Amino acid sequence: MEIQDLATISIEGCASILLLVFAYKIYRAKIDTAAESKCCKWLDFKVTTHNSGHNDDGQQPSLMASV
pLDDT at 61: 52
Question: What pLDDT band is residue 67 in, cutting at 50, 70 and 90?
Answer: very low
Count of domains for the chain? 1
Return the exposure string of 14-48: e unless at least 16 CB atoms fall within 10 Å of the residue's CB, then b.
eeeeeeeeeeeeeeeeeeeeeeeeeeeeeeeeeee
Taking only the tens place, the pLDDT of each residue in 7-65 is 999 999 999 999 999 988 877 777 777 878 777 777 777 878 777 766 655 555 555 55
- For residue 44, the enclosing domain spans 3-66
